[in-house]
Structure 1
Amino acid sequence: MRRAGKKQHYHHGDLRAALVDTAVELIAERGVAGFSLAEASRRLGVAVSAPYRHFADRDDLLAAVAVRACEVLNDTVTAESADAHTPTEALVAAARGYVRFGVDQRALFEAAFGGKLDRLRHPELLRATGPLKDAFLGAALALSDGDPDRAGSLALAVATTAHGHAVMAQLGTFGPGPDGAELAVTRAADTTRALLTGRAALPPLPNALHLDTPTP
């Protein structure tokens, strides 16, 4: 990855991908609120008009970053779930992967959740979240005897549990550095197991399968 804070002269190649990379760097340094197309252009050494050949505006570029976030999050959850052989193990692994993404990929996490993008304007975000929602809902359906209302309620509960642990980890709740990050992952897994043990107490949630659950 390019070193933060250094001007990157763009010469040729895929400007769209370079802009996404640079947006991630700037978000890591300054947060979503501090990101601008003008600064991305300056860092790449291109004209301020150049990004508009690929993106209609700032939100359009942020949406592309959020799509990348979805892809990385899904890859992280998939890798974490590789050895899961039961629906319970799959949901616990999904929670672990979600938190691991949150602590390892803070810029992508912020781009996905801090940009307040209009998802009706950016349907690519809805498409990008599909595989991750399927991972949560597939296991939840298996644990809910195929009842979609109970499965939706359970998947939403696990996803929000994971999301909460990721946010708290970023705030330093579980301690600094790698040890704190790993504790957050472990606690998310333990909390998910406890939630699954008591899942019968969760009331069904009609139409939960169609809710915009807390994934990018």
Structure 2
Amino acid sequence: MRRAGRKQHYHHGDLRAALVDTAIELIAERGVAGFSLAEASRRLGVAVSAPYRHFADRQELLAAVAVRACEVLTDTVAAESADAHTSIEALVAAARGYVRFGVEQRALFEAAFGSALDRPRHPELVRATGPLKDAFLGAALDLSDGDPDRAGALALAVATTAHGHAVMAHLGAFGTGPDAAELAIGRAGDATRALLTGRRAIPPLPNALHLDTP
């Protein structure tokens, strides 16, 4: 599984990767709003102009962090889903993996979903969301008799349920002790299972397969 940050010092010739790692560290400490290219440069000990050899601006570096976030999220969902034997179990596991990522990789979660990136400007980010969408949509299509509009609506409902649980976990809705994360993950799985039981009541959503959402 990919790690959020490799925690390694900058080595000549690998500045781009070092900037991504440092951005993740700064976001973890200060949030997306408190992150700047200048601070990343200072932490790495390079000239403030150095990052511009790799990123045109702050938003481009945040997009690279968001790509990393999508990769880690996809890996987390895949690991959670590895033992799923039915489409229902696959979607329940996908929701659990989504929340696990949200609570265990909060900086990456914030970078991916809290930075107000202009996604059409960053096609690499749109591409990075593809495997994650597939993880939800494949099982949703199976549960929707192959109807893409119903499958898209179902996948979006499950992803929204998972996202909501991750956000509520950040707000302390499941407590703040050592068991809070697992409680949030378990409740997301329970909510998804309940949602899937009543899935036929979810109306189709045309073009949901093409919505630009992670």
Please give the TM-score of this superposition, normalised by the length of structure 2.
0.95
1:15-164 to structure 2, matched below 5 A, reads 15-164=15-164
Distance change >3 Å, CA 11–CA 153, structure 1 → 2: closer
Is the counterpart of residue 168 in structure 1 residue 168 in structure 2?
Answer: yes
CA distance in 1, matches of 2:30, 2:160: 26
Is 1:20–1:65's contact at 8 Å kept on the other side of the alignment? yes
CA distance in 1, matches of 2:82, 2:189: 15
For 2:180, give the aligned amino acid.
G
Is the counterpart of residue 177 in structure 1 residue 209 in structure 2?
Answer: no
Deviations 1:50-109 (A, max 9, x none): 000000000000000000000000000000000001100000000000000000000000
Tell me the CA shift for residue 2 of structure 1.
Answer: 8.1
CA distance in 2, matches of 1:126, 1:2: 24
Tell me the CA shift for residue 12 of structure 1.
Answer: 1.9
CA distance in 2, matches of 1:46, 1:39: 10
The runs of 5 or more residues in structure 2 that have no matched partner are: none
- Between the two proteins, the alignment pairs up a number of residues equal to 210
CA distance in 2, matches of 1:182, 1:10: 35
The runs of 5 or more residues in structure 1 that have no matched partner are: none
Tell me the CA shift for residue 13 of structure 1.
Answer: 3.8
CA distance in 1, matches of 2:178, 2:9: 34
Indicate the percent of aligned positions where both proteins have the same amino acid.
Answer: 87
Is 1:161–1:192's contact at 8 Å kept on the other side of the alignment? yes
- In structure 2, the residue matched to 1:188 is 188
Is 2:9–2:18's contact at 8 Å kept on the other side of the alignment? no
Q: What SS class does the counterpart of residue 178 from structure 1 fall into?
A: coil
For 2:64, give the aligned amino acid.
A
CA distance in 2, matches of 1:179, 1:117: 33
Is 1:9–1:46's contact at 8 Å kept on the other side of the alignment? no
- In structure 1, the residue matched to 2:197 is 197
CA distance in 2, matches of 1:194, 1:103: 22
Deviations 1:163-209 (A, max 9, x none): 00000001110011330110000000000000000001111111111
Tell me the CA shift for residue 211 of structure 1.
Answer: 1.1
Q: What SS class does the counterpart of residue 121 from structure 2 fall into?
A: coil
Is 1:156–1:208's contact at 8 Å kept on the other side of the alignment? yes
For 2:196, give the aligned amino acid.
L
Please, which moves more after superposition, 10-19 or 158-167? 10-19
Deviations 1:99-128 (A, max 9, x none): 000000000000001111111110111100
Q: What SS class does the counterpart of residue 176 from structure 1 fall into?
A: coil
For 2:15, give the aligned amino acid.
L
CA distance in 2, matches of 1:9, 1:138: 40
Q: What SS class does the counterpart of residue 177 from structure 1 fall into?
A: coil
